[in-house]
Amino acid sequence: MKTNQQLRREFLKNMGWSALGVSALPLATSAISACESNAEKAIIKPASGNLAVRKNIADIPVDDAEIKVLKEAINILKKRSEIAPLDPSGWQAHGMLHATFCATSIYANQVHYNWYVWPWHRLYLWSMEQKLQKAVSEPSLALHYWDWTKSNTIPEHYWGDESNPLFNVTRLIDSSNEIPKDFINVGASFRAAKYKTFGGYPAIKKRGDAQLDGLAEQSFHNNIHNWIGGQMATFTESGFDPIFYAHHGNCDRIWDAWQAYSPENTLPQDEEWLEKRLFSTDGNGTPIDFKIKDLLSTEDLGYTFQDLDLNPTFCNPYEEKDKPVREASKVDCVAPLNLKTSQTEAIYTELIDRERTHVILHFERAQLPYQPYCARVFFEYDKEGERVSKYTGTFTILPILDLDSVLLQNGVHLQIEIEKEIAEAIQQQKNIEVVFQPVPLPNRNIPDEILKLENISLKLNYEDS
């Protein structure tokens, strides 16, 4: 059996670095696969210097030295927590850190439901990477990401039993379960030129203000958390499951890919965002803070991605055969679109020369469920004597607390992408019904109680309303 030192040397050799230190990285040009056939690939400059390269774990053999060193490092952090649960450099304390900023009712700390979600989680992953590197004295050790656009089952690295530090017994899926294609829709997010659409609106300032998550958070981020289930489907405990870091590693990568996809996809320049201080711990568990403006370059944080390629099969627009089809059921939530409170003319004008655009769908819940709710959203109306059903996206809606309150908000805002045909139906003042069809998840039942929706409307931009 190889010693830990031999494994590390093998790991460094495979990475193209000397065992005595980082001499050079292999050139890692990155390209993002086009979500639309005529889109050009965006090339990122080669990585250089002392950078950790994050890779798709599904591409690395399970018995590779790189994976063994990763497991060794995680084991060290877990053992620290067994000895001292509050050890700030241990696995448990790091998981609790996520709960501090994501499961909190202290809204000043909350990083979800607003435009802080991606910068803070980038910092959180950096914090874990630093702890792992220090645990095994390997500055070249990188976190991995799980590119679920290419491998839509959890990689085999994360299965087994408690002897595997990447395994988590609470997951409600197994190694054969495949993520539904519509759960992995990255295309609608990529075509969001405004960061507020992709990444979320500013945090609310007073109780009753509208909380607007970004499309990326509401769709593939939430969907996959919820699909895995167990600890991963909770704010309080998701940081304890190792698959969290692979999933969020891919979300962090998609944020970079979104910027590379189009020169129109730009970050906020608001001082409120750039100067915001976000908190975490460093590799020793010491409290630190970064301003968002210092978190925008992964290279400045010491890492890069092997590539930004995504599988275009999972980008909108799907071929019709790949779109979910609505088959009416007794648990569907159906309510009329209120054309009087919708920005009907503005939406129609926006789509005169375009095939699709992003809008904000607002609705109110007549009752407030205390669990995530995953649904496929359809718009239904009559067309040429037939009832048509147009799929617009799959979202996981979370029970969101109101500002500094233990009460849930009853208003929900979804950022969605609609096609021109829907805008034409709106402009023609057709009777349109919006359908939320609950999605069955592995080893879970759809709640018997139907979610009652009221006051559904569409707007182009919340701040202009």
- Domain segments of the chain as ranges: 4-314, 326-464
Q: What are the pLDDT digits (tens) for 306-351? A: 999 998 776 666 677 788 999 888 889 899 999 999 999 999 999 9
pTM over 0.85: yes
Which residue type sits at 47? A
Residue 26 has pLDDT above 70, yes or no: no
- Segment 1-19 mean pLDDT: 43
For the cut 50, the answer to whether the pLDDT of residue 79 exceeds it is: yes
What 3 state SS string does 227-248 have?
HHCHHHHCCCCHHHCCHHHHHH
How far is 53 from 254, CA to CA, in rounded Å?
Answer: 15
Q: Which of 13-22, 188-197, 227-236 has the lowest mean pLDDT?
A: 13-22
- Higher local confidence (pLDDT), 322 or 169: 169
| Least confident among 21-30, 84-93, 426-435, 453-462 | 21-30
- Mean pLDDT value across residues 363-368: 65
Contact 278, 111 (CB under 8 A): yes
- The pLDDT value recorded for residue 398 is 74
Most confident of 92-106, 370-384, 418-432: 418-432
66/7 Cα distance (integer angstroms): 8
The per-residue pLDDT for 211 is 81
Q: Is 361 helix (H, G, I), strand (E, B) or coil?
A: strand
Among residues 239, 292, 289, the alpha carbon closest in space to that of 267 is found at: 292
C-alpha radius of gyration, the chain, whole number: 22
- pLDDT for residue 73 is more than 60: yes
pLDDT, one tens digit per residue, over 270-295 is 999 999 999 999 999 999 999 999 99
Residue-level pLDDT at 17 = 32
| Residue position matching structure tokens 């399970």 | 62
How confident is the model at residue 440, as a pLDDT? 87
SS3 47: coil
pLDDT number for residue 369: 56
Residue 23 has pLDDT above 70, yes or no: no
Q: Look at 423 and 18; give whichever has higher pLDDT.
A: 423
Cβ atoms of residues 362 and 459 within 8 Å:
yes
Cα 418 to Cα 414: distance, rounded to the nearest angstrom: 12
Q: What pLDDT, on the 0 to 100 scale, is given for residue 292?
A: 97
Residue 33 has pLDDT above 50, yes or no: no
pLDDT at 457: 94
Query: Sorting pLDDT into bands at 50, 70 and 90, what band is 42?
Result: very low
CATH class of 4-314: mainly alpha
- Pick the range with the lowest mean pLDDT from 31-35, 132-136, 407-411: 31-35
What value does the mean pLDDT take over residues 429-433? 95
209: confidence class by pLDDT, cuts 50, 70, 90: confident
Greatest alpha-carbon pair distance for the chain in Å reads 74
Three-state DSSP class for residue 30? strand
- Taking the C-alpha atoms of residue 199 and residue 202, their distance in angstroms, rounded to an integer, is 10
pLDDT for 88-105, tens place per residue? 999 999 999 998 887 766
Asked whether the beta carbons of 12 and 140 are under 8 A apart, the reply is yes
As a whole number, the mean pLDDT across the chain is: 84
What local confidence, expressed as pLDDT, does residue 360 receive?
A: 94
For 356, the 3-state DSSP assignment is: strand
Q: Can you tell me the distance from the alpha carbon of 71 to that of 32, in angstroms, rounded to the nearest whole number? A: 29
Task: Report pLDDT for 453.
Answer: 82
